[in-house]
Amino acid sequence: MTITTTTSPAKDPVLRTAYQKSVAEYWNTNQQDPVNLRLGEVDGLYHHHYGIGDYDPSVLAGPEKTREERITQELHRLETAQADVLLDHLGDIKPGDTLMDAGSGRGGTSIMAEQRFGCRIDGVSISEYQVGFANEQAKLRGVDDRVRFHFKNMLDTGFETGSRKAIWTNETTMYVDLYELYAEFSRLLEFGGRYVCITGCSNDLTGLRSKAVSRIDEHYTCNIHPRSEYFKALAANNLTPIDVVDLTAQTIPYWELRAKSALATGIEEPFLTAYKEGSFHYLLIVADRV
């Protein structure tokens, strides 16, 4: 079956600014990142987000020889659990619906969405490497008729107005201006369509960026937004929150386990410090297009 998506040319080139070019460059050249590839190899779902839930302490207690393998599998299980929680909040999705994964990385969350809903999903990324990798995964799984990844800017996708039943961002909003982003999502969502976001955000109550949050920004070339910014930008674009869940306590075990893994990248301590001192939250936000 051939399914076509109506796409008008985006208004601007995919990479508009020097900043966007540097972000694309980061994800195009950071290809051999063992923490993401080794976890993805566990079952072929390649994620670019963190995990939630308690880890099984027996992974640390078992035989030394297979310890790393057990930790890798456990970290992957927690990352997949995070994506499941995101998908749980998309609402009643039917096979005939079309969704968008904004900042789709290597495609893990989109592939899981197809498994769950059997619907059409378009992922967009400004990394041509990631788009190629993710399309390859969809092909390997035989779902490339329903799951497609595009080299597109989520601020200006060119997809048809009102064409989306739901859109999500899984840890990608720290790369863009939220007002521009939600203007585009508001255009793409049908009336009553749903937006789900999982993000790390800074805490307005503790003031401006803490040192630990600045270190996370520096590590990933991103700009973590304050919590308040999300709600202002949603409200400014006819996106009305229906659910907000603070996942901070649930993500701390993931970072504690990751800090013990040979795959640790050095960013574990800033995450643990930021979460524990209260300068940073891991938040799920669900909003309806009204």
Q: What angle do CA 235, 240, 244 make, to 5 degrees?
A: 105
Q: Which of ligand GPP, Mg ion, none lies near 109, with the C-beta cut-off 5 to 8 A by kind?
A: none
Stretch that binds ligand GPP, among 1-9, 31-39, 86-94, 117-125 (CB under 6 A): 31-39
User: How many residues line the site for ligand GPP (CB under 6 A)?
Assistant: 14
Report, in angstroms and rounded to the nearest whole number, the Rg of the chain calculated over CA atoms.
18
In whole angstroms, give the CA distance from residue 243 to residue 228.
15
Contact flag: residue 183 with ligand GPP (CB under 6 A): no
Contact flag: residue 81 with ligand GPP (CB under 6 A): no
Q: Which is nearer to ligand GPP, 224 or 239 (CB)?
A: 224
Stretch that binds Mg ion, among 34-42, 137-145, 168-176, 220-228 (CB under 5 A): 34-42
In whole angstroms, give the CA distance from residue 23 to residue 243.
30
Choice from 38, 48, 76, 225 touching ligand GPP (CB under 6 A)? 48
Which phi-psi region, left, alpha or beta, contains residue 221 (left: φ > 0; alpha: ψ -120 to 50)? Answer: left
Q: Which is nearer to ligand GPP, 45 or 189 (CB)?
A: 45
Q: Which is nearer to ligand GPP, 48 or 150 (CB)?
A: 48
Contact flag: residue 82 with Mg ion (CB under 5 A): no
User: In angstroms, what is the minimal distance from the CB of 52 to ligand GPP?
Assistant: 12
Contact flag: residue 107 with ligand GPP (CB under 6 A): no
Contact flag: residue 36 with Mg ion (CB under 5 A): yes
- Whole-angstrom CA distances from 27 to 141, 151, 194 are 23, 13, 28
Return the closest-CA partner of residue 173 out of 231, 247, 215: 231
In whole angstroms, give the CA distance from residue 87 to residue 18.
33
Q: Which is nearer to Mg ion, 36 or 169 (CB)?
A: 36
User: In angstroms, what is the minimal distance from the CB of 18 to ligand GPP?
Assistant: 19
Q: Which is nearer to ligand GPP, 59 or 83 (CB)?
A: 83
Contact flag: residue 274 with ligand GPP (CB under 6 A): no
Q: Which is nearer to ligand GPP, 239 or 274 (CB)?
A: 274
Return the closest-CA partner of residue 27 out of 116, 108, 114, 126: 126
- DSSP-assigned beta bridge partners for residue 198: 170, 284
Contact flag: residue 101 with ligand GPP (CB under 6 A): no
Residue ranges in 126-247 assigned as alpha helix (H) = 128-140, 178-188, 211-220, 227-235
* CA 159 to centroid of chain Cα atoms: 20
Two structure tokens written together for 18: 């020097």
In whole angstroms, give the CA distance from residue 101 to residue 268.
26
Q: Site residues (CB under 6 A) for ligand GPP? A: 33, 35-36, 48-49, 171, 174, 200, 216, 220, 222, 224, 265, 267
By CB under 5 A, name the binding residues for Mg ion. Answer: 36
